[in-house]
Copies of this chain bind each other. A is one copy, B any other.
Amino acid sequence: MNEQTITIIGLLAGTLTTLAFVPQVLQTWKSKSTKDVSLNTFLMFCTGIFLWLIYGLFKQDIAIILANFITFILASIILGLKLKYK
């Protein structure tokens, strides 16, 4: 498989794993119900994504920075809603 196709797979993967949290944000925003959502999962996930952001900044890798910046915002909203509507 040529380099260009592999890059496209990477971009598609990054887009999907980034935007994947939009439905969870919308569902939680509407339902105000988070009982089944794990607080520890989103605490760990937000911390991990924040570290990926730091990693991307030091590596000056725009793909890592952009993907994790968006994911961090989405995951933080879910974490905030979880803390608010425990």
Name A's B-contacting residues (CB within 8 A). Answer: 1, 6, 9-10, 12-24, 26-28, 31, 33-42, 44-45, 47-49, 51-52, 54-55, 58-59
Contacts and interface: CB of A to CB of B under 8 A. Distances in A.
A16 B45 contact: yes
Contacts of A40: 20, 23
Given A18-B48, A21-B41, 6 more contacts: A1-B58, A13-B54, A16-B44, A16-B47, A17-B45, A23-B41
B16 A48 contact: yes
A10 B59 CA distance: 10
21 contacts: A1-B58, A9-B54, A9-B58, A12-B48, A13-B49, A13-B54, A16-B44, A16-B51, A17-B44, A17-B45, A19-B44, A20-B42, A22-B41, A23-B39, A23-B41, A24-B37, A24-B38, A27-B36, A28-B36, A31-B36, A36-B36
